[in-house]
Structure 1
Amino acid sequence: MDKQWWKRSVMYQIYPQSFKDSNGDGIGDLPGIIEKLDYLAELGIDVLWICPIFRSPMVDNGYDVADYRSVDPMFGRDEDLDELIAAAELRGIKIVLDLVLNHCSDRHEWFQRALEYPNSEEAGYFYFRHTDDGQPPNNWRSNFGGSAWAQTEDGRWYLHTFAKEQPDLNWENPKLRRELYDMINWWLDKGVGGFRIDAITFIKKDLSFASGEVEEGALYPIENFQSYPGISEFLTELKRETFAKYDAVTVAEAPGVSPELFAEYAGPDGHFSMIFDFNWDHIKGVSVKCDPDSVAAWRSRIFESVLHTQKHGWSAIFLENHDQARCPDKFLDKDKHSRDSMACLATTYMLLRGTPFIYQGQELGMTNGMRSGIGEFQDVSALNQWEEGLAQGRSEEEMLRELNDYGRDNARSPFQWNAEPNAGFTTGTPWMPVHPDYRQVNAEKLQADASSIWAYYKELIAFRKSEEWSDILAFGSFEPALTEYPSLIAYRRNFEGRTLLVLNNFGDELKLPLEGRQIVFNSFTGQESSATADGLLNLLPYQSVVLVESK
C-alpha cells in the first residue's frame, strides 16, 4: 500500500485576511502567520493551506489573481512568503498555496493587453466573442449570479464563470497552459509543499457555446462546466508537466465529479493526490440537528461516500472552509452548541479514512455571526445573489435569513486570539467585524483550559498521529458499524489485523456491550466516562469513544 506523507497529515486552512494582522492596518498578513506558527505546531498541524495571497484587486478576496508570482502588498512582501516557507519547514510544517487556474483578474497584464490589442497573443488566452445583435453570446449564468458574459468597451464579450472581474482563461490555448505550468514549477522550486487547486472542473468549456434550457423560475441556466468531456487531457498534461516532477500534494476543489470519475481524479494514478468530499458536508437540511432521522440521513451520506472513495482513491475530509457556514451552526441546533457536541462532530470526521482539514477558528468552536442588513455583507457572491433575488421578487427577510445561515462571510470574521479589543487580531480597525462572543471564545482562554474544545482538538490530532494508532487511522480500511442505532455514527478502521471501533453518539444515552473491547480514546473524562460494572459501555449524549477490538 502506498503510504504517502500526506495521508498521515492533518491540514489547516488559513484565510489570511482574517488570521493575524501584524501591522495594525486591519488586514491579516504573512508576518502574522509567521508569528503564529508555534500556535499551529502546538495544535499538531503539519500542513498549512493558505488562501490566495497573490497580487489582486480583491474583488473576490484574492481569487481574482493579477500576478501569480507576486505577493499582494496587503499581505506583505515577496520575502515574507519565502520566510514563511522556511520558518514553517523548521517546525515540520509544509505550506500549500491556493492555485486559481480557471480564471484570473481583469487587472492581470494578460487581460489588460488583450483589451488594448484585440489581435494580440494574450487575447487568445481568454474567451472573446462578437455578436451581431449586441446581446450576450448565449444565456449562460455566472456562478455568482447574472450573465456569464461581460462586454468590453469595443463591443466584444468575454466569458466569466464567476465575477465579471474574473475572466475565464482559455485552456484550449497551449501557450496559456505553458505560462501556467512554468508558474507552478517556479513555486515548487521555491519549496512550496503543494497546492489546493480552485474550481478546477470548470476549465473545460462547451465550445459550441449553445444556450441552455431555462429551468422554470430561473433567469438563466448554469452551463455544465463541471468535469466537461475532454478535461482529462488538460489535467493529465498539467500533472505530467508540474506536480509529478515533485513530491507535492495536490488537493482539488472538483465539484461535479461523478462517482464514476472519482478514480480518474483522485485514484492511485489520478490527476491529484485527493479531492474535497462535498458529498456529505454541505447539504442543506441533512445534518445532525438532534433528531434520529437527521443523524441517520447524515450518517448514510458519510458512509456511502467513504465506502466509494476507499475503493477508488483518496479524499480530503472537512467540516468547514472559507466558503461555508461554521460547523456548529451548520450541524447543530443553537441550544446544542457545547464543547461536547463540537467534540463529537470533530471525532466523527477526523477519524474517517481520508486527510482531515481544519479551518481556522474551528478548533475554537467559532460560530456564525448575525447581520441585520445586506450592507453588513462583504462577499461578492452574497451581494450578487441579493440583487438577483430582488429581481426575482424574493423577500429581503428570506434572503437575509439564508445569507446569515449559509453565506460565505460567516467563516471570514477575524480569528479570535484573546479577549483584548478586536480579539487580538489587530490593533487597528478590522476589515470585517469581529464576532461579538470573542471575550468568551478565544485561543488564549481555551488554550489555558484543559477541558476546552481547543484542548480536545489537540488531543484528537495527537491520537490520530500517535505511533500506536496512526497506521490504522491513516491507512486502514473503513467499515460501517452498529447502524441499528439511528443516532449513533459508528465505524471500524481495520489495518493488518488490528481494528479500532469509533463511536459517536448524537442521541440519547446508550448502553453497549464492551465484549472485551478496550477503551483507548474518550471525549469525556472522569467518572462519567468509565465502563459500567456489568460489562457495558455507558455512552452519553455527544460522547465519542474509540475502542480497540483486536491486536
Structure 2
Amino acid sequence: MERKWWHDKVAYQIYPKSFYDSNGDGIGDLQGIIQKLDYLKALGIDILWISPVYPSPFADQGYDISDYYNIDPAFGTLEDMEQLISEAKKREMYILMDLVVNHCSDEHEWFEKACEDPDGEYGNFFYIEDRKEGETPCNWRSYFGGSVWEPLPKNPDKQYMHVFHKKQPDLNWENPKVREEIFKNINWWLDKGLGGFRIDAIINIKKKLPYKNYPSDREDGLCDLALMLADAQGVGDFLKEMHEKTFKLHDSFAVGEVFNAKEDELPAFIGNDGYFSSIFDFSTTSYGKSDKGWYDCRRITPDEYKECYFQSQEKIGDMGFYSNIIENHDEPRGVSYYLPEDGLCLEGKKMLAVLYFFMRGLPFIYQGQEIGMENLGILPLEQIDDISALDQYQVCVDAGFTPEEALKIVSFYSRDNARTPVQWDSSPNAGFTTGIPWLMVNPNYREINVKAQEQDKNSLLSFYKQMISLRKNKDYKETLVYGDVIPFERKRHNLMAYHRKGEKDLLIIGNFQKEPQTVTLPSSVKRVLLNNYPQLSQEGNTLQLCSYQALVLELV
C-alpha cells in the first residue's frame, strides 16, 4: 500500500451548529470553531471535518445546499471560512468540508430554473418526468418516508425525484454538464486551501435506469432504496472521473460515506489510486438495522461488535485504510448505543474508546465524544427536531405501537442525540451560548463538560489525549498505523482483543462486561502502555481484568 500524508493523523468531526456559538444567537458558527482551535490542537487533532456551512433553507440541517460557493450567514462569511483555513494551517491542521452533491436544495438557482422551464437546459440537471394520472415512474421509497417522486412546482403535469427530503431534488449525474459544475466547485474550494472533503451519500448518485419497480416491503406499496442501489451499475465511472479531475490533482484527502461496499469493490474505492482516500467503516452502526423501521432494529451485542470490526479488517487487509468511528451526526451517542447499561460509566467509556481507536485505519472523533456525551433520554414529541425521528415515530404508530412506546424507540435512535450542543462547562447552556440554544442542551452538562475534565487527570478527555499521544509516539507509530490486526481469543464471550503487529507486538484488550475476566497472554508483558485502571492484576502471563478494563500492552 502506498503511504499517504494522512495515514498517521487523527480526525475530528465538527457539527458547527452545535459546536460553539461566538455571537450569542444560539447557533454555533465559524468564529466559534476558530476560538476552539487551540483546544483541538491540545487534544491532538490533525484533521477537522466541518459538516455543511453552505447557504441553506435547513430542511435537513444544511444538507440541502442552495449555493455551493458561499457560507450561510448563520455560520458567518466566506472570509470567516478563509480565516478558519488559515488559522488551522498555522496549527498544522487540515480542514475538510462536507461535499453534498447527490442533491441540492429546491431553492438552488438550478432547480428554480428547472421549474421555470422543465424542458430547458436546467431541467436536465434533475430527474424530471411526466406525471400522468398521479402515477409515478417507480415505487422507490425516500429515506425520509413516502415516494421519491414529488410534483414539480409550477408544473402539475411534471414530477421530480428526491431520494432524501422533498426539498432535496436529486442531481442528474448522467448529465456531463452537472458533473462539470460539481468538479469546478470542488476544485474552487481545494484551491482555497482545503485539505479535502467528506463525501455525503455518494453511492446514491447512480440510479437504476430505466426506472424499475421492486417488491414492496411495507403496506405503502413502496420499496427500500437499497434494492435499487444494488441493481444500479456504473457508479464507479462517475467516482473515477471525480477523483481524476479533482482530488488527485491536489493530493487531497477524500473520505466517502459508503454503506455496504462489497469486498471485491474495495480496491476500486480505497486501493492505490482509488476513488477515495478512505471510506467509513459502518459495519457496527449498520448492524441490526431493519428495513421495516427503527422499531424492528436490534441492539448490537459486544460479541457482534467485535466480529463486525474483525470481519471489516479481514476484508480490507493492507489494501487501504478505513475511517473508524463510534458515532457521528447521524447516529445516537456511541457510549449510549454500544455500552450495556452497567457499562455507561467512566471505565466503560474508556474501554469503548480504546477498542475502536487502535484499530487499523484513521480514527475519527465526533465532537463531545472525547468527554463522553450521552443520549438525551426520552423527549416529548414537540421537542424532537430530527425529521427522520418524526417520520419513524409515525412508522412505529402505524406498526401498532402506543405513542409512549413509539416515543421511547425514536428517542433512542434520534439524530438529535448527537446534535445537542457541546458541553463546554457547567455555566448556563453548558457554555455553548449566551443566548437561547437552537436545540436543547443535555441536562447532564453539569457533570459532563470539558472544563471539569480538563482539570481531572483521570477524566475521559485526559484519556483521549493519552490515546492520541500513544498513536503518534515515535516508538509505536509504525505499528499502530501500519501494523497488522490479528484477533486474540476471538471466541471468548464479552472479550475483545487484538494484536497490532509490526515493528512491535502490541495487544489491545477490553473486558466488555461488568464481571471480571481472566486472560492468559501468549507472551510476557514488556510494558503497559495504557490502562483505564490505576492497577493491573497479573500473575505471570495471566491477567485478571476488572469490570470494563481496557489495556494496551507491549509484549515481549
Give the C-alpha shift of residue 386 in structure 1: 2.8
The answer as to 2:521 corresponding to 1:518 is no
Give the corresponding residue for 2:68: 68
Give the C-alpha shift of residue 262 in structure 1: 1.8
Give the corresponding residue for 1:236: 240
Q: Is the 1:55–1:72 contact (alpha carbons within 8 Å) kept by the matching residues of 2?
A: yes
How many residues are treated as equivalent by the alignment? 541
Hey, what's the Cα distance between the residues in 2 that align with 1:539 and 1:340?
12
Q: Is the 1:66–1:104 contact (alpha carbons within 8 Å) kept by the matching residues of 2?
A: yes
The answer as to 2:488 corresponding to 1:473 is no
Q: Is the 1:307–1:479 contact (alpha carbons within 8 Å) kept by the matching residues of 2?
A: no
Residue 113 of structure 1: SS of its match in structure 2?
helix
Q: Is the 2:392–2:410 contact (alpha carbons within 8 Å) kept by the matching residues of 1?
A: no
Give the corresponding residue for 1:106: 106
Q: Is the 1:310–1:353 contact (alpha carbons within 8 Å) kept by the matching residues of 2?
A: no
Q: Is the 1:254–1:275 contact (alpha carbons within 8 Å) kept by the matching residues of 2?
A: yes
Q: After alignment, is 10-19 or 225-234 more displaced?
A: 225-234
Hey, what's the Cα distance between the residues in 2 that align with 1:389 and 1:516?
53
Give the C-alpha shift of residue 10 in structure 1: 0.8
Give the corresponding residue for 1:95: 95
Give the corresponding residue for 2:171: 169
The counterpart of 1:538, out of the listed 505, 528, 544, is 544
The answer as to 2:462 corresponding to 1:459 is no
Hey, what's the Cα distance between the residues in 2 that align with 1:536 and 1:390?
52
Q: After alignment, is 534-543 or 454-463 more displaced?
A: 534-543
Hey, what's the Cα distance between the residues in 2 that align with 1:151 and 1:104?
17
Give the corresponding residue for 1:255: 259
The 3 A distance-change label for structure 1 pair 169 and 513 is same
Residue 65 of structure 1: SS of its match in structure 2?
coil
- Summarize deviations over 1:230-259 as a string: whole Å, max 9, x none: 111111101011001011111000123222
Residue 456 of structure 1: SS of its match in structure 2?
helix
Q: Is the 1:226–1:256 contact (alpha carbons within 8 Å) kept by the matching residues of 2?
A: no
Hey, what's the Cα distance between the residues in 1 that align with 2:205 and 2:104?
12
- Summarize deviations over 1:174-229 as a string: whole Å, max 9, x none: 00100000000000000000000000000000111122211255541023343631
Q: After alignment, is 11-20 or 476-485 more displaced?
A: 476-485
Hey, what's the Cα distance between the residues in 2 that align with 1:283 and 1:397?
25
Give the C-alpha shift of residue 371 in structure 1: 3.6
Structure 2 stretches lacking a partner, 5+ long? 291-299
The counterpart of 1:334, out of the listed 332, 335, 341, is 341
Q: Is the 2:378–2:408 contact (alpha carbons within 8 Å) kept by the matching residues of 1?
A: no
The 3 A distance-change label for structure 1 pair 219 and 419 is farther
Hey, what's the Cα distance between the residues in 2 that align with 1:434 and 1:510?
38
Hey, what's the Cα distance between the residues in 2 that align with 1:391 and 1:285?
18
The 3 A distance-change label for structure 1 pair 246 and 352 is same
Give the corresponding residue for 2:432: 425
The counterpart of 2:271, out of the listed 247, 267, 274, is 267
The 3 A distance-change label for structure 1 pair 511 and 381 is closer
Residue 104 of structure 1: SS of its match in structure 2?
coil
Residue 70 of structure 2: SS of its match in structure 1?
strand
Hey, what's the Cα distance between the residues in 1 that align with 2:487 and 2:341?
29
The 3 A distance-change label for structure 1 pair 280 and 392 is closer
The counterpart of 1:549, out of the listed 524, 545, 555, is 555
Give the C-alpha shift of residue 513 in structure 1: 4.2
Hey, what's the Cα distance between the residues in 2 that align with 1:519 and 1:545?
11
Q: Is the 2:529–2:554 contact (alpha carbons within 8 Å) kept by the matching residues of 1?
A: no
The 3 A distance-change label for structure 1 pair 179 and 225 is farther
Identity %: 42
Give the corresponding residue for 2:123: 123
RMSD, aligned α-carbons: 1.8
Give the C-alpha shift of residue 475 in structure 1: 0.9
Alignment of 1:390-401 (within 5 A): 390-391=397-398, 393-401=400-408
Structure 1 stretches lacking a partner, 5+ long? 287-292
The answer as to 2:226 corresponding to 1:226 is no
Residue 69 of structure 2: SS of its match in structure 1?
strand
Q: Is the 1:201–1:256 contact (alpha carbons within 8 Å) kept by the matching residues of 2?
A: no
Give the C-alpha shift of residue 298 in structure 1: 2.0
Give the C-alpha shift of residue 487 in structure 1: 2.0
Q: Is the 1:54–1:71 contact (alpha carbons within 8 Å) kept by the matching residues of 2?
A: yes
Q: After alignment, is 371-380 or 148-157 more displaced?
A: 371-380
Hey, what's the Cα distance between the residues in 2 that align with 1:249 and 1:17?
24
Give the corresponding residue for 1:246: 250
Hey, what's the Cα distance between the residues in 2 that align with 1:100 and 1:216?
29
Give the C-alpha shift of residue 542 in structure 1: 1.4
Hey, what's the Cα distance between the residues in 2 that align with 1:77 and 1:215?
45
Give the C-alpha shift of residue 491 in structure 1: 0.6
Residue 301 of structure 1: SS of its match in structure 2?
helix
Residue 206 of structure 1: SS of its match in structure 2?
coil
Q: Is the 1:326–1:411 contact (alpha carbons within 8 Å) kept by the matching residues of 2?
A: yes
The answer as to 2:38 corresponding to 1:47 is no
Q: Is the 1:30–1:76 contact (alpha carbons within 8 Å) kept by the matching residues of 2?
A: yes
Q: Is the 1:280–1:305 contact (alpha carbons within 8 Å) kept by the matching residues of 2?
A: no
Hey, what's the Cα distance between the residues in 2 that align with 1:180 and 1:524?
47
